[in-house]
Amino acid sequence: MQSYNQINFHDVPADELINYIVNKHHAFAKNMITLCKEHSNELKEAGEEQADKINSMILSLERALLSHFRDEEEILYPYAKMLLAWERKGSNKMIPSVNIIENPINRFIEEHKNLLKLLGELRIITEFYTVSSNNKHGLKLLHAELFELDQDIQKQIYLENNILFTKLIALEKQAIQNKPHS
């Protein structure tokens, strides 16, 4: 099996890339955010100073992520899959004559910037996921989980902004250009 770094995502068809993002990245981020929230709550209840700030940031990140994922999974990705299905069938009569995919994509790119800003704030709060005391095993575990979540979200944002969104915009433009005029 290929590792993440061995996959040339530019060669992966857009619908497979969508499935990969949803099944790998969205699922992982949802699980990790739940786990981090639970661990930060436990540490907060145990009196760990940093845990309250971390917990607050996790809640902000969770709200932003879940809303973002929902919109991608319920709006953008289904429309993109319809475009791909129409393209494969050679039937693009149903495609709107105006470009409607770029505005949502631009919104998602702005949301990505906000997610990266939240992750940046989390890195500052956690001092880049470091713990100075060897006696704080729970905090070390939480930091390690947050680091994994941070890395995964960054990979997902890269895949979407730099590969998937480019493919979807080009696909829609091509479909509109090739649409038969009635």
Asked if pLDDT for residue 167 goes beyond 60, the answer is: yes
108 inside domain:
yes
77 inside domain:
yes
Is residue 43 classed exposed, middle or buried when 0-12, 13-18 and 19+ CB atoms within 10 A define those classes?
buried
148 inside domain:
yes
Contacts of 35 (CB under 8 A, 6+ apart): 145
Query: Which of residues 1 and 104 earns the better pLDDT score?
Result: 104
Indicate the average pLDDT of the chain.
88
2 inside domain:
no
52 inside domain:
yes
DSSP character string of the chain: ---GGG--GGGS-HHHHHHHIIIIIIHHHHHHHHHHHHHHHHHHHTT-HHHHHHHHHHHHHHHHHHHHHHHIIIIIHHHHHHHHHHHHHT--TTS-SS--SHHHHHHHHHHHHHHHHHHHHHHHHTTTT--S-TT-HHHHHHHHHHHHHHHHHHHHHHHIIIIIHHHHHHHHHHHHHTPPP-
162 inside domain:
yes
The model's confidence at residue 140, banded by pLDDT at 50, 70 and 90, is very high
Contacts of 43 (CB under 8 A, 6+ apart): 50, 51, 54, 138, 139, 142
Q: What are phi and psi of 177, to 5 degrees?
A: -65, -35
The model's confidence at residue 49, banded by pLDDT at 50, 70 and 90, is confident
182 inside domain:
no
**pTM exceeding 0.85:** yes
Give the domain extent around 32.
9-177
Quote the number of domains for the chain: 1
3 inside domain:
no
Task: Report the C-alpha gap between 54 and 42 in whole angstroms.
Answer: 12
